[in-house]
Amino acid sequence: MTALAHQFFTEPSPVTDCAVSVRNVGKVYAGVVTALENINVDFPRGQLTSLLGPSGCGKTTLLKIIAGLLPATSGEVLVNDLPVAGPGPERAFVFQDFALMPWANVLRNVAFGLEMRGIAKSEREEIARSHIAQVGLAGFEARYPHELSGGMRQRVGLARALAVNADVLLMDEPFSAVDEQIRRKFQEDLLTLIAREKRTFIFVTHSIEEAVYVSDRIVLLSARPGRIAQIIEPAIERGGDPDAIRRHPAYLDTVDAIWQSLKTYLE
């Protein structure tokens, strides 16, 4: 890391209030492939933390372990100081491929999480409607996923995750299946969402620019077996104009520094 770059992003400050804490987590697939090794990382409450690394570094694996969708081979994950034994109501997942049920309309898809919690139909539909409106899909409640564009489908996926009112939102490359222009719009919307919702976001991405643009913290993972290479906090002011971020010198330098660091993993 160059001395110059250090001006623009800092090493992590100690986390005082963490929503999610990953302790010594390791993951071995089928007894032979080590995907993750000795991962120790805290995710500060109310902020967005990205997991970034070369492909195959286990970032999605780590996210799914936090979600309780995959068991860790060793170590543990604490959410609100309680160990994770499986999926829980305080976490909600946004899927890369949206994972919408094609046979259910937008309303039923968004209400699915509430339905699983046994909330009465009229109540869950009311909650779902307000979240559908919030992601800008009012009027599309009765449509089916195949009638929507990719961007709209991911809004449905997001509304579904927001509807269950979870503390922690886990997002697995949520914008990778939409086109570049929609993605930029989503990234801007995400910043607004973080500012408004005060929830904890854990965000997996393979795009350096995206990570630097949206994150309060970035956890850099090394190539397989995934270990934590570095944790950085881009020194970017996020209060103002979202377009200003991409022109911010700290943005450009952080992107470049991360690229220089990740480049070493690519043959």
Partner 1 sequence: MIVFGHRIPMTGSLLLWALLWEIVGQLKLTILLPPLSRVVLRAFEIVPTETFLSAFAVTASAFVAGNLIAILVGVPLGILMGSSVVADRIFLPWVNLFLSAPLTALVPVIMVLFGLGQTTIILTVVLFAIWIIVLDTRAGVRSISPSLIEMAASFGAGRWQTFRKIYVWAALPEILAGIRLGVIRSVKGVIIGQLLVSIVGFGALFKLYGSRFLMEHFWAVLIVLFALAFALAEAFAWLERRVEFYAATRG
Partner 2 sequence: MAEHRAGIEAAHQGYRFSRVFPFQGSGKALREKRPNALASFATHHFTLNFLSAAALCGAWEWAGLVPISPAFPTFGETMGALWSISADGSLAGAFAVTLQPLALGLVVSMVLGVGIGVAMGLSTKTEWLASPIFIVAQSAPLAALIPLIVFAYGIGLTSKTIVVCIMAMPVIVLNSFAAVRHTPKSLIEMGESFLATRRKVIIRIILPAASPVIFAGLRLGCASGFIGAVLAELLITPTGVGDLITYSRSIADYPTMYAAILSIMAFSVLFIEVLSRVEVMIFRPEKRAVS
Tokens of 170: 């886990």
Do residues 251 and 236 make contact, with C-beta atoms less than 8 angstroms apart? Answer: yes
Least distance in Å: CB of 97 to partner 1? 5
Least distance in Å: CB of 84 to partner 1? 12
Least distance in Å: CB of 93 to partner 2? 13
Do residues 266 and 54 make contact, with C-beta atoms less than 8 angstroms apart? Answer: yes
> What does 71 interact with, of partner 2, partner 1, none (CB < 5 to 8 A by kind)?
partner 2
Token pair 């290479």: residue: 229
Residue 213 CA to chain centroid, in angstroms? Answer: 13
Q: Which of 7, 10, 33, 71 binds partner 2 (CB under 8 A)?
A: 71
Contact characters 21-50, partner 2, x per CB under 8 A: ---------xx-------------------
Q: Which CB sits closer to partner 2, 84 or 236? A: 84
Q: Which of 196, 136, 144, 206 is nearest to 171 (CA)?
A: 206
Residues that bind partner 1 (CB under 8 A): 64, 67-69, 86-89, 91-93, 95-104, 112-113, 115-117, 144-146, 164
Q: Where are the alpha helices (DSSP H) in 8-120?
A: 59-67, 106-110, 112-116
Tokens of 3: 């001395």
Sheet of strand 74-79: strand arrangement: 33-44, 18-29, 74-79, 82-83
> What does 249 interact with, of partner 2, partner 1, none (CB < 5 to 8 A by kind)?
none
Q: Which of 5, 70, 104, 231 binds partner 2 (CB under 8 A)?
A: 70
Q: Which of 177, 184, 180 is nearest to 157 (CA)?
A: 177
- By CB under 8 A, is residue 73 in contact with partner 2? yes
Q: Which CB sits closer to partner 1, 79 or 212? A: 79
- By CB under 8 A, is residue 231 in contact with partner 2? no
Least distance in Å: CB of 84 to partner 2? 12
C-alpha torsion sign, points 178, 181, 183, 186: negative
> What does 99 interact with, of partner 1, partner 2, none (CB < 5 to 8 A by kind)?
partner 1
- By CB under 8 A, is residue 96 in contact with partner 2? no
> What does 30 interact with, of partner 1, partner 2, none (CB < 5 to 8 A by kind)?
partner 2
Q: Which CB sits closer to partner 1, 112 or 251? A: 112
Q: Which CB sits closer to partner 1, 87 or 249? A: 87
Q: Residue 23 and residue 74: Cα distance in Å, rounded?
A: 9
Sheet of strand 9-10: strand arrangement: 9-10, 228-234, 217-221, 48-52, 200-205, 168-172, 91-94
The site for partner 2 (CB under 8 A) is made up of 30-31, 68-71, 73, 86
